[in-house]
Structure 1
Amino acid sequence: MILGESRQEARVKKALVLAVGSVVALSGLLGACAYNEALGRNQFVFVDDSALIQQSRAAWAETLRTQKVSNNAAQNARVRRVGDRIVQAARLTDRPWDYAVFEDASPNAFVLPSGHIGVTTGLLNLAKNDDQLATVIGHEVGHVVARHAAERSSTNAATGLVLGAVQSQAGDYGQAVQAFGGLGAQLGVLLPFSRSHELEADRLGVDYLAAAGYKPSEAVALWRLMAQQRQSSTPQFASTHPSDQTRIAALEQYIASRGWN
């Protein structure tokens, strides 16, 4: 025991370690119930897909209502043209897809499980060609194929349940447990898991853009452009995304392994 540490504090810290460990163990145990062929691994997923889709549709409607949507016909046609080719390559034509361009200088894009993709004008200005735009849209479609939204929601829910149980047993230390435990779980489980998702989506995205007839090498070029304009200095261990260097290195290695150099 650390000098000056009470038995109650020691019990709380031990409980926190066990709690975070139990989330990891639970993910490994229940993940066998859901195998994702595209990823080649098991997933811990218990969140209902229909509920996610319903929430996603509501989120899309709210985003269209609150954000400035571009009426530029050429920009919207470009996103739809590239997006439709990627969706076909990913074999996701079993659902309707909708696209929107948002007037925002930050280069960004997002996808919702309901089949909605948003791209900013900043990203369209950054991407020098359709191959680079296909890199981003392929990445976003990769998240859908990988069921990352359902997996992340399941992991978040499981983590919250375990930490809630620990907090209820912590007595006067409950508030401290909530703060420390939440941060510990986030850094130890949730954020690294998100970085893993991003790298998986990168790999799937390259597969789809290649199948759609775009140049895989432009994926590396796009992320180098992203790295040049990046202003954030958040260290990788505390970020939901891998560093630009990690992402570029992984893409180069994967593209070379497929003989697409």
Structure 2
Amino acid sequence: MIKFFGIVGVAALVAGCEPMMDTGPVSQPAVQSQQTNLSASQSARSFLRVVQTVEPVAERECRARTSGINCDFNIVVDDRPDQPANAYQTEDRAGRPVIAFTLALIADARNDDELAFVLGHEASHHIAEHIARQQQNAVAGAVIFAGLATLSGGDATAVETAQRLGAQVGARTYSKDFELEADALGTVITKRAGYDPLRGAEFFTRIPDPGDRFLGTHPPNSSRLDTVRRTVAGM
């Protein structure tokens, strides 16, 4: 199902991606698609076609790889104005997985393969239960930092500040690993849905490279491309 909405009623913590399709310097000399951006009507048709094809494959993979979690994906369009090219996975209040695409991302995609790869990637965040794991890491970080502040003689304000900082650090600790896990499983979903994940992952050659920053949320683009290539070779 596809809905258009301004994001409401969803979980505050998302296992999502920072702007993915933003045009920026090419950081890797990988082969780039020669196809330019699609027209608005072409983009809309492409998105609908990809959702109808990839969603059932993602749901089958979810049911096959998990137990006790909701695999009924709700694919939505985040139509809030001025949103950057982005996609993310979250959950609604009932625990149903939501995958949101901004209008800018749909417009920036150059082919069906790119949209399919993004959808497979975001579905993989849910299948791998990254939101729950991120929350656990945040709690663990808050407890550790608060304990250190208490042992060092900090007052209530210092302990509270340490808890917030610890939660942020904990949530980011394995975020790069989560992205690579989602890239690998997203490659499988994309391939099984009949699309080309190598062509789909070419958008990594168009977005700014986050590098390998300490506590950064995303791995280097080169690592992500290597993950896709290795996964395809293994299939």
Q: Which residue in the other structure is 2:216 paired with?
A: 239
Aligned residue among 185, 188, 195 for 2:176: 195
Structure 2, unaligned runs of 5 or more: 1-6, 13-39, 64-70
Is 1:250–2:230 an aligned residue pair? no
8 A contact 1:195–1:241 mirrored in 2: yes
Q: Which residue in the other structure is 2:192 paired with?
A: 211
8 A contact 1:86–1:137 mirrored in 2: yes
Q: Secondary structure at 2:196's aligned position in 1?
A: coil
Is 1:116–2:98 an aligned residue pair? yes
> For 2:74 and 2:83, how far apart are their aligned partners in 1?
24
Q: Which residue in the other structure is 2:136 paired with?
A: 154
> For 2:141 and 2:194, how far apart are their aligned partners in 1?
41
Q: TM-score, normalised by structure 2?
A: 0.66
**Greater relative contact order structure (CA < 8 Å, 6+ sep):** 2
Kindly state the Cα deviation for residue 128 of structure 1 after the two structures are TM-superposed: 0.8
Task: Tell me the amino acid that sits aligned with residue 126 of structure 2.
Answer: V
8 A contact 1:111–1:141 mirrored in 2: yes
Structure 1, unaligned runs of 5 or more: 1-55, 62-71
Kindly state the Cα deviation for residue 140 of structure 1 after the two structures are TM-superposed: 0.3
Aligned length, in residue pairs:
188
> For 1:181 and 1:150, how far apart are their aligned partners in 2?
19
Q: Which residue in the other structure is 2:125 paired with?
A: 143
Q: Which residue in the other structure is 1:32 paired with?
A: none
Q: Secondary structure at 2:214's aligned position in 1?
A: helix
Identity of aligned residues (%): 27
- Within a 5 Å distance, the mapping from 1:22-61 to structure 2 comes to 58-59=9-10
Cα shift readout 1:31-88 (whole Å, capped 9, x = no counterpart)? xxxxxxxxxxxxxxxxxxxxxxxxx972279xxxxxxxxxx88755543432232221
- Counterparts in 2 of 1:184 and 1:165: CA distance versus 1, 3 Å: closer
Cα shift readout 1:153-190 (whole Å, capped 9, x = no counterpart)? 11111221232233233224776677678767855x54
- Counterparts in 2 of 1:96 and 1:141: CA distance versus 1, 3 Å: closer
* Higher relative helix content: 1
Kindly state the Cα deviation for residue 105 of structure 1 after the two structures are TM-superposed: 5.8
Task: Tell me the amino acid that sits aligned with residue 183 of structure 2.
Answer: D
